[in-house]
Structure 1
Amino acid sequence: MVVHTDCLRDVPDIFENEIGESLTTRTEGLGMIRELGPPDLCHIVKSHSSNRNEPEIGSYHHVLGVDTSSSASLAAYINSLQYSLSESPGWFGASNGWKITSGTYCSYNAFSNVDLRVQIKIPGGVDAYIVTVLGERKEVTDELWRECQVSSLLRATLLSDSLAYDVTGLRRVTPVNGPREEAKVIEALMQQFWNGWSLGSNAETQMISTARNFLADGIQKYFSGAGRYADFAAEILAPLAYAPLGGQQSPVRSSADFKGVDPEVASMLAQCYLEGDEEVQAVRVMHQALKIKPSCYPLLYIQSEFLRRKKQLESALTIAHMAVKYAPSEFHAWAKLAEIYIDSKDFKRALLTLNACPMYIFVGRDMPRVPSPRRINYPVKPDILADYNLGESFNNSTHGPVPSSSRASIDSDAPGYAEEMAQNGSSDILRLSAPNLNGTFAHAYKILASIFGMVGWDELLMLRSQVFFMEEEYCNSAVPGAAVDDELEEEEEKEREKAGEKDDDHLPLSALRERALSESKPDIETSGMVKADADTNGHLEETKAETQGTDEMQSETKLDEKPEAESDLQENAAEPKPGSKPEAEPSSEAPAQPAAKGKKKNKKNKGKKAQEKEKESANPEQAEHVEQAEQANGDVAYETIAALGEKMDEVSLSGNNEGDKENSAEDTAPADSAVVATSDIAAPESPFEPVSAPQTAVLEAKDKEPSASNDADNADNVTDRDDESQQIRLGDSNIVRKRLCERWLDNLIMLLFEDLRTYTAWRSRMHNLRATGQQVTYTYTQAEWEALGELALRLHRPSEAKEAFEYALAIRFSAHAWMRLLEMHVGKHAAAQKEEHLRYENVPPPLPLNSNDSLMMALDAIVWLSVHNDRWYNNMVYPNPVCESVVRLVKIHGLSKVRNSLVSMNLKVPVFNIVKGYLEFAEKFDVTGAKW
């Protein structure tokens, strides 16, 4: 094996074919950066000091976490690489003829979209400049240095998971080493906080705002990963939230004498208080901010989640509806509404809400564009890896010296590596598409899987057929293109504009809530007339064409209508009704549609006073009773009556059970008017009979049976039947309208079916193998065991996922499997484990988190992952998923117990020092449990 002396000992080296080609490629790719940018690039040039015939060599590596606040810190980093060059033994000690003569450090500034570069010559000077997207070179200002520092910190924080973001030749270092450095970082973050919107946002956010961007996400992840919610609220959020609106930071003021509060920053502050178990402070902040802006979507989102945690599902549902109203393009608002419906056991509306979610294209992280390397050096530390087999299997001559064994233990039943790779190539388990979902589609799949976990597959298919049109229904429908009546909302908005109603954005929360409740509950005094209007609507529309003549024109002049109502009446008279038969085609073969199910407002509700005239011409007795009711109720406007009648036909997604129960209970008060109004006309068809047009399909509850009686002569039976139908319409929250299923949701259901089929085959095979006493470990390859573990997690079976990951580790080391087991031992999946134990009788209870066995298993996983991180140059203590797990253990057991348990494991000194760094971080930053 060839030993290269031009390599770094503990830093990866990617050697160039031509010196500087990596810098040229990076300059050309600046215009293709979409988010925070790629990791920092450190390029160095080496030359041989004694042999002048040796040409200069150019190499580079990527870095995350280096302090980029000044050129001095970057020059110090490049200078430190001089001491990492490999040393060769000589007559008078170790020496090396290769030296670093120059270096260039590149860091992307995501605020200004420029690349900041520092060129260093050893010995020599330091030259700092920026490179624009067009390749122009400009001078660096203090503002650009500060922006570059914040951009580098955000990349190190948001890309801290090495398993989720893997780049060739990437080195990670700790960005913040102590409280003193953290104070400087916080100052820079607060200065750039109001410009965070320019960085963009994650793939699940549509509208970028102060609280929804990469800067806010990075700060929140930095503090929440360590459980430091109190520091986050006191040092950053409170000064920003109580600053003047739109201004910069100011000293913290008490909540009693505040003069202004930024609603979006207040939503972050309230969420921080909730996560830190300070609910009183969170409620106070939300109350103050909602008085400033009741329509703030982030505040409504946090409030609905808080009410959901408190099991106040009806209130949470109301707030979630308001959040959807004010932010209809935000996926999180719709997703939260669907989750609350699931908690309320209203799975039909949960599916409809999920179907209405806006879906966005996922944009992945920025990856560095590099040329093809000449060779790559991945140095190892033999003293650390001596007792830890990480199962590496690549070629030593290409990547440097690595452990040669590819299995943790030699077993005659274990397949060889080549045989395992061939089996993976033809595996159906590894070809599942659900693990490849990202962004909004991955979140939507979780919601769909949660519905499946609660109702089962058969019930999910039944719910799907009840709320969505199947192919046969759609093909047989009269108007397939109008299955989704979204134009109703547009008509409502136009009518509101004509009426001159004001915008709701600046109304107080109490007024909005009262308006929402009043819209869902019709007046008790006019419910009888509404019922009469709903019952006679079908008959009136059938006889409408015959009554439009001179009598109608005379009544039109007597009513003294507005000009808009006259034009609407003429347009309405010219159009045929959905339930009426054309005069030119008297054939009875055309299916008649009940007018109570017609949903087109432009045919049914244009000119609200035209309906009243038709009622007078169709039934004089009915008109008299309407006038009497009008006088008794204090000159109730016809517009209000028509609107309330419209609400009876229209079934919304609000699901206000309380209001519906009140209406159904008090519905018998004006029964006399309903009897008189329906005594002289034919009884309408049952609203629950099958219909031909898909846009008018209405579902009924399981416990409600429609009346089969259609006797028009018996007025009492008609009235009872109508009252019962009306109560079903008002009181049953499960009545929904069918919709067309979106293509992406249909694909997610198919992906769920593929997962379920694979899961069923896996569990059946496991049962047969254990019943016959056969070998289980090598039934699947390591990659298949990991895929099965992820499959079990997606289907909310954490106990079986744990079993699959343990089988994967029995074959070979896997950082992914160790990370999943560590998450289970520190309580990340505690809610799913508890729910699984309560739902299935054969599942044993999970191991208590405060037990010694759980602590030792977690420490075992931490040790293995720490060795793996050190092997792949991940020296970042925090932010780090392993360090976050250590902080959780400290919070559960206390720092002293965790440290003593680590000492009892008798680790080697280098390995113990690596893990001890996480405990030192917990003690240095005073996390919860660090003092006991």
Structure 2
Amino acid sequence: MIREIGPPDLCHIVKIHTPSRSEPDIGSYHHVLGVDTSTSASLAAYINSLQYSLSETQGWFGSGNNWKIASGTYCTYNAFSNVDLRVQVKIPGGVDAYIVTPAGDRREVTEELWKECHVSSLLRAILYADPTTYSVTGLRRMTPVASPREETKFVEAIVEQFWNGWALGSNAETQVASTARNFLVDGLMTYFGGEGRYADCAAEILAPLAYAPLGGQQSSSRMSAEFKGIDPEVAALLAETYMEGDEEVQAVRVMHQALKVKSSCYPLLATQAEFLRRKKHPEAALTVARMAVKYAPSEFHAWAKLTEIYLEDGDYQRAMLTLNSCPMYTFVDHDYPRVPTPRRINFPVKSDVLADYDLGEQGTGPMPPSSRASLDMDGPGLIEEMALNENSTILRLSAPTLKCTFARVYKFLTEIVSTIGWDELLLLRSQVFVMEEEYRNSAIPSAAVDDEDQAEDEDEHVPLSTLRERHTSELSRPGEGEPSTDAILPTTNDAVDVAAEISNAVDDDAQVTNDDSLAGAEVEPTVESVEAPAVQPEAPSVILEEPGKGKKKNRKNKGKRSKDNLKAETTPSVEPSVLTEVLNEGDASAASIVAIGEQMDVISLSDTDHGEAKGSEQLSEVENVPQVAEQLSAPQSAMFETTPSEPTPAPEHLPISGGEEEGESLITKPEDSGDIIRKRLCERWLDNLIMILFDDLRMYTSWRSRMHNLRATGQPVTYRYTQAEWEALGDLALRLRRPSEAREAYEYALAIRFSARAWQRLLEMHSGVYMSMQQEEQKRHEGIPEPLPLTSNDSLMQALDAVVWLSVYHDRWYNNMAYPNPVCEQLIKLINIHGLSKVRNSMVSMNLKPAVFNMVKKYFEVAEKFNVRGSKW
């Protein structure tokens, strides 16, 4: 079952032995990305080109001229129509192209199917270009767009199929594929974003599509009168490209036009929130981000953007509550090919290039003196390292296995820890989530007092919530100085009316959270978001007692709650003065609350008929509630919220660290004490992520302690860990936002043996990918050595060293894709910083072999052909 854009193309050939016809024919297959699949002639030309590799000394099929290709079949998947296109080539002979449906039927190929196959193949080549994220045995990568002429053909194909992009599906972080969220858009942004050519993408593709009549959908069911000049979803992409291309005036103009057409478009609101965040307007960005969550509560992107704004603003409490309410999706991995197990795998080694570069394989020759050492004969052997890796706790950490939305949430948690520390995170967790002891003291017991014994036992066996209710009713009894709560509380079946009236009394600058429901009373989405625990803990089965009193067992009605207990738990505790002010306010402030775009809160059940009808069913068992507000069938009980008789004090906030004295807590009370945040149950998956973070921090502390002891005693460090463990430690340091220590770990890994992953991370550090993380590390930690400036010659030479090693590695495994390529993308960033002339001259000064220099030369040609920034100087 193919779920995404499909596996790589498959090429199968049949070889015959010409001198001896008695030998049987041999079938051989390999996977390929980047071949032009727009016509049958281009596919036949590719199969014919394989014939020339047979005569090479070191080719795809090995040396020797005794074999010839008799026939070949090229298979490519059409992700739009979900069919397989096959082209059979006979040498000599003809070409036969046909379609195979999922049912196995054979059909003729139409012109439209050829166009769809071409776009599908291009998207696979672009999205699967990184070998670290997508690796298949026997995969050959070729450049999908090698010249500006081919790019023009690529742009025309993308524009023609753009409005059908939703049929391809979307990545794992998107719930529903749309015009702005699908694989076609991902491939488009990846292709132009890797070269930094956002202006070309906006001018050639997105701007014509955004302003086309009916958004380019002439066959759409919408009437022409409904179109007002611009497509909102495409406008969101257009504004994003303008922002990335440093054309902010154009971005603002596009967003303004699109918001007048459809103000509820959540991709457009998310783009606007990002623009306001970059311009240091957190309050405005927060308002827009809340509206995006309101209009798309089931989309993770909207919640992630809201969390990002909260973190930048230093509101860690609401950031945690927002993460707790994020919709989490099951990860769907890429499509991988399903082929029979081969009898033999043959990857001929190009010895003329690899003679001076040891890529970790045995028998590839010694290291050149001028090159970086990637192998030390004094270290442990491969067999010994494999035995050590099997029992390594470093390689068994769970964080590297996180994917999709869980990886994004974990990244937010590491950002919080790097700012406030682990101890403050635990304190923050206890402030915003219900802890076990609080749950036991606040939850309704699973067994109520028997009806016949209730009168005699009510003084001995009274739940804690009932005692609170009694105390509240005594304080607010009529005639004793305060008005009665029952007299003020409206007798209605809908608890939303009460929550909305309470919200109206809140000042615009204060953020008070109240109960809400599906009817639409608007509140803080991150604080009062829908409670959706994957597995809620069950209520305690014991009855809470007063100290010193005995316990009496129930003799009947076991597992049920009495009517008094139900009312005690479902009746909200409301400040009388607040209610009086609410009734006087009317609907004026309600409209302002609705306009902000806040929504989705957990509401309290009233003690009316509606609440009594559903109360016992909901309170008897904690149910799983969907995270999407529209999917809720009934309001959730506030059984886990404490209802004190006095107004709840304002919570404590977590400002960004930087001005606190040593020893002081980062948790401080805000000046405005009107901010109330009620505790929620922590989702099981979020609690698991916090435990995963704890494991990472524990391993990191152990690693740094051991490193300190080894250096203090003068002992060698390199072989204290295996090469795979050093890589894992480098990834661990990057996850915890410590790039200086990650760089150190990667260098130790390279001192043992070649590692493509380590070289790639070092190249990214020298090209500025982790520059913001390095600057934050400098501010938060003392004694961290300053990284090399990106404009320095030393940084450039180290980056080019990584480019050479990775180019040789990719060529070894038949990765001939010039662009998109992770090495080419980082080299283009170096060209943007230093200029093409300086980077090329620095590469020439390394005195590389001609064959090695030609491998790197293709990256420079890409920069020149497509006119990237810095290619003219």
Shorter-chain TM-score bucket reads: 0.7 to 0.9
Report whether the alignment pairs 1:830 with 2:780: no
Report whether the alignment pairs 1:700 with 2:650: yes
Report whether the alignment pairs 1:864 with 2:811: no
Q: 1:437 aligns with which of 387, 402, 419?
A: 402
Q: 1:422 aligns with which of 366, 384, 387?
A: 387
Q: Is the 8 A contact 1:833 1:846 kept in 2?
A: yes
Q: Is the 8 A contact 2:434 2:640 kept in 1?
A: no
Correspondence for 2:256? 287
Q: 1:201 aligns with which of 152, 159, 170?
A: 170
Q: Is the 8 A contact 1:239 1:249 kept in 2?
A: no
Instruction: Go from structure 1 to structure 2 and tell me whether the alpha carbon gap of 1:604 and 1:436 turns closer, same or farther (over 3 Å shift).
Output: closer
Shift of 1:604: 5.1
Shift of 1:637: 6.4
Shift of 1:838: 1.1
Correspondence for 2:534? none
Q: 2:422 is aligned with what amino acid? A: W
Correspondence for 1:130? 99
Correspondence for 1:785? 726
Q: Distance in 2 between matches of 1:209 and 1:536?
A: 54
Correspondence for 1:97? 66
Q: 1:102 is aligned with what amino acid? A: S
Moved more, 204-213 or 411-420: 411-420
Correspondence for 2:662? none
Q: 2:650 is aligned with what amino acid? A: E
Q: Distance in 2 between matches of 1:278 and 1:442?
A: 31
Q: Is the 8 A contact 2:444 2:569 kept in 1?
A: no
Q: 1:889 aligns with which of 823, 826, 830?
A: 830
Correspondence for 1:801? 742
Match of 1:737, SS state, is coil
Q: Distance in 2 between matches of 1:893 and 1:52?
A: 60
Q: Distance in 1 between matches of 2:701 and 2:57?
A: 59
Match of 2:689, SS state, is helix
Q: Distance in 1 between matches of 2:201 and 2:383?
A: 51
Q: Distance in 1 between matches of 2:30 and 2:11?
A: 6
Deviation string, structure 1 residues 700-743 (Cα, Å, up to 9, x no partner)? 34599xxxxxxxxxxxxxxxxxxxxxxx9993375311111001
Q: Is the 8 A contact 1:300 1:320 kept in 2?
A: yes
Q: Is the 8 A contact 1:392 1:405 kept in 2?
A: no
Q: Distance in 2 between matches of 1:187 and 1:693?
A: 57
Shift of 1:410: 6.4
Q: 1:469 is aligned with what amino acid? A: V
Report whether the alignment pairs 1:333 with 2:298: no
Q: Is the 8 A contact 1:699 1:737 kept in 2?
A: no
Q: Distance in 1 between matches of 2:728 and 2:746?
A: 9
Q: Distance in 2 between matches of 1:652 and 1:804?
A: 46
Q: Is the 8 A contact 1:413 1:778 kept in 2?
A: no
User: How many positions carry a matched residue from both structures?
Assistant: 715
Shift of 1:333: 1.0
Q: 1:226 is aligned with what amino acid? A: E
Q: Distance in 1 between matches of 2:720 and 2:403?
A: 30
Q: Distance in 2 between matches of 1:246 and 1:349?
A: 38
Correspondence for 1:82? 51
Q: Is the 8 A contact 2:375 2:754 kept in 1?
A: no
Q: Distance in 2 between matches of 1:754 and 1:411?
A: 32
Q: Distance in 1 between matches of 2:55 and 2:404?
A: 44
Deviation string, structure 1 residues 506-541 (Cα, Å, up to 9, x no partner)? xxxxxxxxxxxxxxxxxxxxxxxxxxxxx9995599
Q: Distance in 2 between matches of 1:537 and 1:638?
A: 29
Correspondence for 1:474? 439
Shift of 1:475: 2.2
Match of 2:829, SS state, is helix
Q: Distance in 1 between matches of 2:85 and 2:569?
A: 60
Correspondence for 1:720? none
Q: If each structure's helix is expressed as a fraction of its own residues, which one has the higher value?
A: 1
Deviation string, structure 1 residues 70-106 (Cα, Å, up to 9, x no partner)? 00000000000001115689xxxx9622110100000
TM-score by length of 1: 0.71
Q: 1:865 is aligned with what amino acid? A: L
Shift of 1:222: 0.4
Instruction: Go from structure 1 to structure 2 and tell me whether the alpha carbon gap of 1:918 and 1:604 turns closer, same or farther (over 3 Å shift).
Output: same
Q: 1:276 is aligned with what amino acid? A: G
Instruction: Go from structure 1 to structure 2 and tell me whether the alpha carbon gap of 1:289 and 1:480 turns closer, same or farther (over 3 Å shift).
Output: farther
Report whether the alignment pairs 1:177 with 2:146: yes
Correspondence for 1:578? none
Q: Is the 8 A contact 2:228 2:261 kept in 1?
A: no
Shift of 1:245: 2.8
Q: 1:864 is aligned with what amino acid? A: W
Correspondence for 2:552? none
Report whether the alignment pairs 1:758 with 2:685: no
Report whether the alignment pairs 1:841 with 2:782: yes
Q: Is the 8 A contact 2:198 2:245 kept in 1?
A: yes
Correspondence for 2:230? 261
Q: Is the 8 A contact 2:569 2:639 kept in 1?
A: no
Shift of 1:699: 5.8
5 Å-filtered alignment, 1:719-730, equals: none
Match of 1:376, SS state, is coil
Q: 1:324 aligns with which of 293, 300, 317?
A: 293
Shift of 1:470: 1.2
Stretches of structure 1 lacking an aligned partner (at least 5 in a row): 1-31, 251-257, 394-400, 482-534, 570-586, 591-597, 606-610, 616-621, 631-635, 655-690, 705-727
Shift of 1:599: 12
Q: Distance in 2 between matches of 1:552 and 1:776?
A: 71
Correspondence for 1:772? 713
Deviation string, structure 1 residues 680-717 (Cα, Å, up to 9, x no partner)? xxxxxxxxxxx99535475634599xxxxxxxxxxxxx
Q: Distance in 1 between matches of 2:400 and 2:649?
A: 35
Q: 1:297 is aligned with what amino acid? A: Y
Q: Distance in 1 between matches of 2:357 and 2:117?
A: 39
Deviation string, structure 1 residues 380-419 (Cα, Å, up to 9, x no partner)? 11111111110125xxxxxxx8669999566564111111
Q: Is the 8 A contact 1:473 1:694 kept in 2?
A: no
Stretches of structure 2 lacking an aligned partner (at least 5 in a row): 220-226, 447-468, 499-544, 550-565, 602-637, 655-668
Shift of 1:305: 1.1
Instruction: Go from structure 1 to structure 2 and tell me whether the alpha carbon gap of 1:740 and 1:900 turns closer, same or farther (over 3 Å shift).
Output: same
Taking only aligned residues, the RMSD between alpha carbons, in angstroms, comes to: 3.9
Q: Is the 8 A contact 1:46 1:99 kept in 2?
A: yes
TM-score by length of 2: 0.76
Q: Distance in 2 between matches of 1:385 and 1:299?
A: 50
Shift of 1:763: 0.4
Q: Is the 8 A contact 1:466 1:699 kept in 2?
A: no
Deviation string, structure 1 residues 224-249 (Cα, Å, up to 9, x no partner)? 00000110000000000111234349
Correspondence for 1:688? none
Instruction: Go from structure 1 to structure 2 and tell me whether the alpha carbon gap of 1:480 and 1:192 turns closer, same or farther (over 3 Å shift).
Output: farther
Percent identical among aligned pairs is 66
Q: 2:787 is aligned with what amino acid? A: P
Shift of 1:50: 2.5
Correspondence for 1:925? 866
Q: Distance in 2 between matches of 1:480 and 1:740?
A: 17
Match of 1:377, SS state, is coil
Match of 1:875, SS state, is coil
Shift of 1:421: 1.0
